[in-house]
Amino acid sequence: MGVIDFYGSSFCLIKSNTNLQQVGLSPRPSCSFGRNQKKLVAMASTIPVEQVNKFPQQLTGDSFIREHLRKLSPYQPILPFEVLSSRLGRKPEDIVKLDANENPYGPPPEVLEALGSITFPYVYPDPESRRLRAALAEDSGLESKYILAGCGADELIDLIMRCVLDPGDKIVDCPPTFTMYEFDAAVNGALVIKVPRREDFSLNVEHITEVVKQEKPKCIFLTSPNNPDGSIIDDKVLLKILELPILVVLDEAYIEFSGIESKMSWVKKYENLIVLRTFSKRAGLAGLRVGYGAFPLSIIEYLWRAKQPYNVSVAAEVSACAALQNPTYLEDVKNALVKERGRLFELLKGFSFLRPFPSHSNFILCEVTSGKDAKKLKEDLAQMGVMIRHYDKKELNGYVRVSVGKPEQTDILIKCLQKLS
């Protein structure tokens, strides 16, 4: 890898980390920089557009796209609220949105106040998110030098892969789980080795160990609580996996709802552990995109080098800091959701065609049984203005996932399910 400096001569300087080479090339105006620039601008302005556009007929734009990306299936995100609202013919406030594990209580009031008083929106944000990382250090008890913030945990998943994986490297994924790991691996040209979870959604450690030995994957993505079933990873299991020669990325996006302590501080002890967290769920900031991760010092250095400099916007940083200023609100909202999770679970159990799974998170996975079609159930509920998530993947065919909402949202969902019984 290197840089090609082309100064308009018939030679090209290729800089790499180790040497400087001269390569004979005939100058092409379209790739010239530096001293030739003035001349080229003048040239470009005199060429008629039709001539410039003499693009070889047999070439189409997608021929420039990297081979592995041409085969990529697009990630299927949820519909934006406004689009959903016009499709369903309902006002956004009349939609019961239980399909994306968002926090229906939203952020503490301090967040909107802070957003309204941003003084320098025209200045780029702090590339090191210093204020936020200091606040996170206080919140987590882990020094800020171990913490890096991102545009959602999603950005950090991609950033880790960009830093760790060469094309053709392998990752271990344990489905059913968050599909972003598989998607980002594909974007980064990596191969995914799937080690499915057991029927009770626990990890198959023996199989993981075998795969690590045989296939030598670079990293494994683990989620605790796991999305979509809400199960947690036992410490003993995690310790066993940490003994393997593999980078373990532990995604704790929903940890606050589990009553279990985050493993962020473990990164001081385990050189092969990264822990990811987010403000999307705990602080109701999914729309503002703030995530963070705890990294061993030997790893974080490279993420700093490779990340986009302004990955956390002023609005995102201000919001996250303001949210952390009101821990009582965050705690109250979490308690309300955990309480509602218990009530929702009991109510769902009352339907003969649903088998809900106990969850440590802010959602409940249900198997749709008794001959009822899971996809139709999702569609019928959507017609009534209630959005839930439906799965048709191999590991979860015939399942739906319901996010925990406010009590009044649960009540509407239950009434609709009764109508469909």
Ligand X SMILES: Cc1ncc(COP(=O)(O)O)c(C=O)c1O
Binding positions for ligand X, rule: CB under 6 A: 101, 152-154, 178, 223, 227, 251, 253, 278, 280, 286, 291
Q: Least distance in Å: CB of 349 to ligand X? A: 24
Q: Taken in order 178, 368, 82, 225, is the CA torsion positive or negative?
A: negative
Nearest residue (CB) to ligand X, 6 versus 103: 103
Closer Cβ to ligand X, 333 or 417, answer by number: 333
Element (H, E) at 63: none
Q: Kindly tell me which of 255 and 413 has the beta carbon lying closer to ligand X.
A: 255
User: Residue 99 corresponds to which tokens in the numbers above?
Assistant: 């399909």
Output the smallest distance, CB 279 to ligand X, in A: 7
* Cα(327)–Cα(376) distance, integer angstroms: 41
Q: Toward ligand X, which CB reaches closer, 224 or 351?
A: 224
Instruction: Quote the CA–CA distance of 133 and 129 in Å, as a whole number.
Output: 6
Least Å distance, CB 180 to ligand X, is 6
- Give whichever of 68 and 194 is closer to ligand X, judged by the CB atom: 194
| 18 CB-near residues (< 8 Å, 6+ apart) | none
CB nearer to ligand X: give 286 or 322: 286
Please report, for the chain, how many H helices and E strands are present, in that order. 16, 16
φ and ψ of 253, to 5 deg: -55, -30
**CA gap 343, 407 in Å, rounded:** 9
What's the closest the beta carbon of residue 225 comes to ligand X, in angstroms?
8
Return the number of the residue (291 or 385) whose C-beta is nearest ligand X.
291
Smallest gap from residue 255 Cβ to ligand X (A): 10
Cβ–Cβ contacts within 10 Å for residue 199, how many?
Answer: 6
Edge-to-edge strand list for the sheet holding 354-356:
354-356, 363-368, 399-403, 389-391
The residue nearest ligand X at its CB is 152
To ligand X, the closest distance from the beta carbon of 233 in angstroms equals: 12
Q: Residue 281 CB, nearest distance to ligand X (Å)?
A: 7
**Radius of gyration for the chain, computed over Cα atoms and rounded to the nearest angstrom:** 25
Q: How far is the CB of 311 from ligand X (least distance, A)?
A: 12
Whole-angstrom distance, CA of residue 67 vs CA of residue 408: 49
- Six token digits for residue 197: 């979870």
Q: Are strands 247-251 and 273-278 parallel, antiparallel or unpaired?
A: parallel
Q: Which is nearer to ligand X, 47 or 78 (CB)?
A: 78
Partners of 261 in the β-ladder = none
Reduced to 3 states (helix: H, G, I; strand: E, B; else coil), residue 375 is helix
